[in-house]
Chain A
Amino acid sequence: MKAQRDVWGQTLVDLARSDNRVVLVDGDLATSTKADLFADAFPDRFFEIGIAEQNMVGVAFGLSTLGYRPWLSTFGVFLTHRALDPIRMLVSQTGAPVKIAASYAGLLNGSSGKTHQDIEDLAIMRAMPGMTVIAPADAAEAEAAIRWAAGYDGPVYLRLARDAVADVFDPGHAFNPGAVHVLREGSDAILVSTGVQTSRVMDAAELLTEQGLEVRVLHVPCLKPVDEAALLSALSGSAPIFTIEEHSIIGGLGGLVSELVTSTTLGKTVTRLGLADSWSESAPNAYLLDKYGLSAQRVAEQVRHALADD
């Protein structure tokens, strides 16, 4: 059980040893994001831009035009919001191979509160043509996604969580863009999740089993592109669908699944769990997960109640 930010710096250092296109562009947060590991290992390939997020995106784009594959590293919220226009014009519209490592994404970021919690990133980045949007489940998947992104000649948004969660995948797990993972089988409900929330959903499934309910758990690490056929087939059957994400219920995974389901004749309802169009607050992780319905217990409870109402 490792945190994604702990594997991020180390993986990049490993990659940089064999790939001299790898450079890192930091926004004065290397000690939080653990990009300082990279700064120590490759000081001349570490570009400290300071607290200037729009500028750092422009700089990364410029670097990319000469063959580099720059990794932007700072708190995700300052990239997807503060620097959205440069990401849009210089990265997405040009297809530049700039990698956006969005650290401290989601709700749980060390009690920093709503200014730092990025619960809209998936909605925003998913709307961006040509952007690959990845929310890995755990450290192993984060590492695999970082390695995959480094080899990919286009823009990538990578959502990285600050804190560790129980492992979902074994070390050495391979990342396949678009793949949908069926992590658990069951016929009472279909629980779809993404990012580190998947780990808590797996725990919720365990709790539901204890209560006599068997649920299928789907993990969708790549919100774009996504293997729509695979996702649809995993969503079919008579069991009701729940999406669960550490994100707003608008436009993220819930949006993706709803859009897909309503564009077919599946004819099922989708219950979206996540931040219900509200800002959050500063609090310990356990408090936030409980209050916003994302802890294993609260997920299990919401699914159980919904099934009982049916």
Chain B
Amino acid sequence: MSNTNATRTSTAELQQLAAAGRWHVVETVAKSKAGHIGGPLSAMDLLVSLYFNELAIDPQQPQDPARDRFILSKGHCAIGLYAVLALRGYFPLEELATFDQGGSRLQGHPDMKLTPGVDSSSGSLGQGLSAGAGIAMAAKQLGAGFHTWVMLGDGELEEGMVWEAVHTARRFKLDNLTAIIDLNGLQQYGWPVTEDGDRFDRSNPWAGVDLEGVFDGFGWNVVSINGHEFNEIQAAFDQVRAARCSGKPTVILAKTTKGKGISFAEGTYKWHNGVATPEQLAIAAAELGQAFEGEAK
């Protein structure tokens, strides 16, 4: 299929898209009175980079067999994906208002049977990389040239099934598979930094673990980046493409900030999920450069 992204979206445009995406996340969650914030925001720069500059996709043909596949394995961040899919033209932005409401195509967790552009259902953490591995194996079998991308959370990496898939991806030489890990350093609750530490200061789930070394040891290509720097993200994607015949899957370890872009949500597990008050929405809108009428519509 034709890559509809023949012309690159500029960094300035990506920044604007990401700011809009972040705004849609907080605003939509405020409207629906429940939802996740921190994870969708930490992943936003990666998501817009993928959808606007990397994936070979056509929103008019969401089922095109030749499309690149993307699986949001950390399915609780669905609203982040929906915002980007809407910005990319899969469905109208107004449809975001139906999120989590009865009869909506936009379920609390991604549903491949309902939402155009969603390649795999997710929500129970830890399963997306196996699904991606199966897709990548099928692509190899069929001689299909598309690439499969899976995004996981760093808390999600605690699931054993992830490591089963890490092994399988290497054994089957799935160089057409890439895992992006959103290393925002927080999960839902996790552990305190020290035993007698502040209850609200939570530890990075992988503190003391050499994740680069772990993936390297499993025989993967490892690319470490700042997941909020668009040039670094793009460079990582370029490295993925360069490794297409390496016989190795690639992992992008993307260091991010949970809740990125909204001061009160940044770096705290307390905004893993949450509903912003009108006052908080006003702050978020100002920080993201978005118009806000004063009420969650």
Contacts and interface: CB of A to CB of B under 8 A. Distances in A.
Contacts of A23: 141
Given A49-B168, A52-B168, A55-B164, A89 B141 contact: no
Contact of A47 (B121, B131, B137): B137
B124 A65 contact: no
Contact of B123 (A49, A50, A89): A89
Given A66-B142, A86-B161, A59 B121 contact: no
B168 A90 contact: no
Nearest to A62: B134
Interface in B90-135: 111-113, 119-124, 126-135
A61 B134 CA distance: 7
B121 A89 contact: yes
- Chain B: number of interface residues, binned into ranges: 35 or more
B112 A94 contact: yes
B144 interface: yes
A86 B168 contact: no
Given A55-B168, A86-B161, A89-B124, A61 B131 contact: yes
A67 B138 CA distance: 9
Interface in A57-82: 57-68, 70
A280 interface: no
B127 A59 contact: no
B131 A44 contact: no
Contact of A62 (B111, B138, B142, B164): B138
Interface string A86-104: 1011100111000000000
Interface of B: 65, 111-113, 119-124, 126-139, 141-142, 144, 160-161, 164-165, 167-168, 171-172
30 contacts: A49-B164, A50-B164, A50-B171, A52-B161, A52-B164, A52-B167, A54-B127, A55-B161, A55-B164, A55-B165, A55-B168, A58-B128, A58-B130, A58-B165, A59-B130, A59-B131, A61-B131, A62-B131, A63-B134, A63-B135, A65-B131, A65-B138, A66-B144, A86-B124, A86-B127, A89-B121, A90-B131, A94-B113, A94-B121, A95-B113
Interface of A: 23, 44-45, 47, 49-50, 52, 54-68, 70, 85-86, 88-90, 93-95
Given A44-B141, A52-B168, A55-B161, 6 more contacts: A45-B141, A49-B164, A54-B130, A58-B131, A66-B135, A88-B124
